[in-house]
A and B are shown apart, each in its own frame.
Chain A
């Protein structure tokens, strides 16, 4: 049957028959890079229109409806507009860092694609610390934001960057702890092992209440880490005009925008992998017939379905909750989420040792 792993294997076989090993690796790297860029552009277009449609649906209006059928090509038109716009660089700005920052944001988001399993046996790099890799690289995002904020030579930008730095650094802790709780249950940091361990049931069902708590903390923490409402203090429009990207225009602004959406996709993909079984189909105990029907749905559809469900949840947050104040935001992390997730990690460890999970 047609599958992602089948395609990648046949490409690999053909390349290794035609070229020598070094050239094969280089060509495969180029193919992977092009594929990631393509996925990037596709995700940007899809997620922007999805966000606008979801917000319209929540606010009982139509949303974009002029370009294409039901306004589906709106984000394509927006991209075209941003491409032809002039990219201004303020006179007082630090030219190099100002122009470099959006690209760093993009590169970080691209690096994060490496350990994600998009379908069965379809992964760029199945390294033995995949989950840790994601949390390490996603902490690099803050450097691009700080660079952008400082180089803009604008006090709104600097304030936004500082807030975002404080926010990302502190919410990383509870995100990391909730990721660790699944790592404790699985006993491995490798993404493929984590997915394999959920073959007989996803962790959110197998792990009882502690896994659910870890899931909720994870979703809250990653919403804050990706700087999205209700935690979007880095770009709080009413106080800071646009936060760290106040001075950006044209394609450089679009790159920041794209990086934000791709980051949302990535954290949701990680959440789906850890808690909802990645590409594993949904199985119920001994219902052989039901399980068999579920197995017929392709693994890539399962993965993207779960990921887009989580993305929808995060968008739902954005259009439901009002924005927090900076002190409320830091209180939430340090006084509530961090203690809860630490106790929760202890509970999960006890559960894993006593084998209370299924």
Chain B
């Protein structure tokens, strides 16, 4: 077992364990923190696949921005074990059914993948490097990329305008 495999196994175990803890933790703050741990271990997997840019963007966007926003809201609302509302049994059933169907679709999709002929490019693939990603974004996907960047810019301008109103 070389060092890449050891790291892969550690990362996988951490990712699965923390993903499980996200849904089993009673306290919402703990859930968010476990989710951050999950994102970090997934970023570790990206780095093993030599997709360093994806790994870092995963950390910036999810762990850095979105999860901080989640933490903010949960801490401000002070959600605790005691204040958690009792959910209706029908709602729980609906949740189980929809989650189960998603699992079914995922399993059905993954069953058809050809695992034998696909090899993970460890430490050598360069698809995830920023240069190739940038070329792809600005040649094949120019229009969607520009539209989404205009959307982000308008969101930023909107925040400034709302702030200036007072």
Query: Which residues of A are at the interface with B, using a C-beta cutoff of 8 A?
Result: 22, 25-26, 97, 127-129, 132-133, 135-137, 139-140, 142-143, 146-147, 149-150, 158, 161-162, 165, 169, 172, 189, 330-331, 334-335, 338-339
B56 A146 Cβ-Cβ under 8 A: no
Closest Cβ–Cβ distance, residue A52 to chain B (whole Å):
33
B68 A146 Cβ-Cβ under 8 A: yes
A132 B68 Cβ-Cβ under 8 A: no
Q: Which residue of B has the minimal Cβ distance to A142?
A: B68
Query: Which of B33, B36, B64, B67 has the most A CB atoms < 10 Å from its CB?
Result: B64
B53 A137 Cβ-Cβ under 8 A: no
Query: Given contacts A143-B67, A335-B160, A335-B164, are A133 and B56 in contact (CB under 8 A)?
Result: yes
A189 B130 Cβ-Cβ under 8 A: yes
B130 A97 Cβ-Cβ under 8 A: no
A128 B129 Cβ-Cβ under 8 A: yes
B63 A140 Cβ-Cβ under 8 A: yes
**Is residue B76 contacting chain A, with contact meaning CB distance below 8 A?**
yes
Query: Given contacts A146-B72, A162-B72, are A128 and B163 in contact (CB under 8 A)?
Result: no
Specify which of B68, B129, B130, B160 is in contact with A338 (CB 8 Å cutoff): B160
Closest Cβ–Cβ distance, residue A144 to chain B (whole Å):
11
A136 B29 Cβ-Cβ under 8 A: no
Give residues 72-105 of B contacting A (CB, 8 Å).
Answer: 72, 75-76
**Is residue B2 contacting chain A, with contact meaning CB distance below 8 A?**
yes
A169 to B67, CA, bound (A): 12
Specify which of B30, B33, B36, B52 is in contact with A127 (CB 8 Å cutoff): B52
**What residues on A are CB-neighbors of B60 within 8 Å?**
132, 135-136, 139
Classify chain B's interface size.
Answer: 20 to 34
**What residues on A are CB-neighbors of B159 within 8 Å?**
334
**Is residue B108 contacting chain A, with contact meaning CB distance below 8 A?**
no
B64 A150 Cβ-Cβ under 8 A: no
Considering the complex of A and B, which 9 residue pairs feature the smallest CB-CB distances, nearest first?
A: A139-B64, A136-B60, A136-B59, A136-B56, A150-B75, A132-B56, A146-B71, A22-B3, A129-B52
> What are 29 A-B pairs with beta-carbon distances under 8 A?
A22-B3, A127-B52, A128-B52, A128-B129, A129-B130, A132-B60, A135-B60, A136-B64, A137-B59, A139-B63, A139-B64, A139-B65, A139-B68, A140-B64, A143-B33, A143-B36, A143-B63, A147-B33, A149-B75, A162-B72, A162-B75, A162-B76, A189-B130, A331-B163, A334-B159, A334-B163, A335-B163, A335-B164, A338-B160
B53 A129 Cβ-Cβ under 8 A: yes
**What residues on A are CB-neighbors of B53 within 8 Å?**
128-129, 132
